[in-house]
Chain A
Amino acid sequence: MIPLSWYLLVAAALFSIGLYGVLARRNAVAILMGVELMLNAVNINLVAFWRYGRFPEQPVGLAWAVFVLTVAAAEAAVGLALIISIYRHRDSVVAEEMDTLKN
């Protein structure tokens, strides 16, 4: 059987890619994709921990992963709506150009 650490490494790598995407990408849609990657990394973690954990008869990790999926879908819907709302004002979705509000 594949050891647990492999799954955790994949999840950590995915999380780091997502983190990099959020911090370094300029396009708001790409930032949103970064956030989704981070949440997916969490899901891999949760399911792997459940499968290899001491209590596989309690599907806590699975249930949690389903909640994360659901919330991520809601979050993506709201995020895209906000991106559309800002695109209508500025004709751009570049995060750096959102500078109406500053000192």
Chain B
Amino acid sequence: MSPNITQSWVLALVPEIGLVILLAAVLLYDRLVKPEERRRVGLLTAWGAFAILVTTLGLWLATGEPNNATDIGTSLMWGGMIRFDLIALVFHVIFLVALMLTALLSLDVEHLQKGEYYALLITAAIGFSLMGASADLIMLYVALETASISSYILAGFATKDPRSSEAGMKYFIYGAFATGVMLYGMSLLYGLTGQTNLYILGSIFGGFQQIPTEVNAVVILSAVMIMVGFGFKISAVPFHFWTPDVYEGSPTPFTGYVSTASKAAGFAVFLRVFTTGVLGEPSDASMWWAMLIAITVITMTLGNFVAIFQKNFKRLLAYSSIAQAGYALIGLVTLSPDGSSATMYYLLMYIFTNIAAFGVITIVSNRIGSDELEDFSGLSRRSPYLALVMMFALLSLSGIPPTAGFFGKFFLFRSAVNAGLWWLALLGILNAFVALYYYLSAVKYMYLYRSENEDDPIPVSRGAKVGLAFSLFFIFYLGIFAGPIFEWTRTAADAFFVLAR
């Protein structure tokens, strides 16, 4: 008996199929290309990701699938393993854009001009895409590990650099530990119900008026364990210890990738699992909800306050990215369509903003061989455009209009106020002021401080220029015309809450 494979089943997997073809093409092309033209492998990856992005969006516009019909029966595909809805589409766009920009910015880094590097970036993207679409615990686990294992190798990819090896090792140890704990929690959920599909699990637990006490204890235990795994992925606070070390030691373009795409994938599964109602309704009495709010508050605050004291640019952005995860969690804890869509919007704008910032660090440190903050002194005289891109990226991270970060934060805080969590929004705003301090002090290094080699300009290749210009364009586009994109994520977010009432 073979399942009846329909057109939408295939449509659901278009990005993944495209990425697998691209993977094969990259590995093959790497063997064929002359050693002095190695750079072209990266260009192939970037063009391929762009082509897949255009195809995915084109097919969506042409066929109207996935649409905002939120019926579970028609949107679950491939035996319930993945769900083909607008959420999956939003996250596919996020990951493909991240892959394209990362490939463009990796082009000129000598030790990354290898086919394996790009192949691993693509494998990680396949894992992320499937995470964004997965509707089943088994699929979720396999997708998450596909992404994680590729990321461990990428973090340790610069084997000649002891810092990179150490980053890979640390990422691996923390990551394997966190996924082990998460998996144990998932096995408990499976044991309770005999089911692995998120939506079936959600309807089972949602069917109870009050989950029986002895069952509830196991549910809470597995919720905590699953939160360890997801919290690791998004670098939320008690599970953030790997973040600064891995961000500092990894090859810089990959740092940009892991801080945006990997985080977005973590949020994708976090939202998918916690909005199905696997854990019951959020209420003041439910322990997992209180825990999630505590994590949100601590993540924002600790990230921002520790970032103030950083002397290394990549470490500063690492703590900043912990804080950004805290802001994005605000949308998650409201557990409303508004909040989830605000989180998705935030992740989308975060891709452009953070990859632009790490792109500038890549180009500068590729030239000067350092990523300490004080070595960025006088950047505005060495390369005014790089300094400008960096300044707008930092302003967007701190949420100043007219950059994308402003609306990102605005939608998040609005959803918190609408959900009655006005104090959480207030904390977020206070945190944004703290963040402004250290972002502006980084700007100060670039614009006000002088250095002795100011007449030594920093060359920027055309690929990197295109990547940075693309990011900068969207930093402003999402900051000025936020409405249509937010509407898009808002429509998508309805699909999260199909089981609620």
Contact = CB atoms under 8 A, between A and B. Distances in A.
Interface string A52-89: 01110010110110011001001100110111011011
B194 A54 contact: yes
B176 A79 contact: yes
Interface in B278-305: none
B180 A98 contact: no
Interface stretch (B151-159, B368-376, B449-457, B462-470): B151-159
Contact of B138 (A18, A22, A60): A60
Interface residues of A, number: 46
A98 to B, nearest CB: 5
Contact of A42 (B168, B172, B183): B183
A42 B187 contact: yes
B181 interface: yes
Contact of A45 (B153, B177, B188): B188
A49 B191 contact: yes
B187 A45 contact: yes
Contact of A98 (B145, B169, B181): B169
Interface string B139-182: 00110010001001100100100110111111011001100110
Contact of B152 (A46, A63, A82, A89): A82
Nearest to B246: A101
B149 A49 contact: no
Contact of A67 (B142, B173, B184): B142
Contact of A95 (B137, B173, B183, B187): B173
A46 B194 CA distance: 10
A45 to B, nearest CB: 4
B196 interface: yes
Contact of B184 (A41, A48, A53): A41
Contacts of A48: 191
Contacts of B187: 42, 45-46, 49, 64
A42 B181 CA distance: 9
Given A71-B142, A101-B245, A39 B180 contact: yes
B196 A28 contact: no
A85 B181 contact: no
Most chain A Cβ neighbours within 10 Å, of B162, B167, B173, B196:
B173
B245 A42 contact: no
Contact of B162 (A45, A90, A103): A90
Nearest to B141: A67
Contacts of B163: 100-101
A11 B445 CA distance: 54
B166 A86 contact: yes
B183 A79 contact: no
A95 to B, nearest CB: 7
A63 B141 CA distance: 13
Contacts of B137: 64
24 contacts: A15-B184, A28-B169, A31-B173, A38-B180, A38-B183, A45-B188, A45-B191, A49-B187, A55-B194, A60-B195, A64-B190, A68-B141, A75-B145, A78-B149, A79-B152, A79-B176, A82-B165, A83-B169, A89-B162, A98-B169, A101-B163, A101-B244, A101-B249, A102-B245
Interface of A: 8, 15, 18-19, 22, 28, 31-32, 35, 38-39, 41-42, 45-46, 48-49, 53-55, 58, 60-61, 63-64, 67-68, 71, 74-75, 78-79, 81-83, 85-86, 88-90, 95, 98, 100-103
Given A101-B166, A103-B315, 17 more contacts: A15-B184, A22-B177, A35-B173, A38-B180, A38-B183, A42-B184, A45-B191, A60-B196, A64-B187, A67-B138, A67-B141, A78-B152, A82-B152, A83-B169, A85-B159, A86-B169, A101-B163
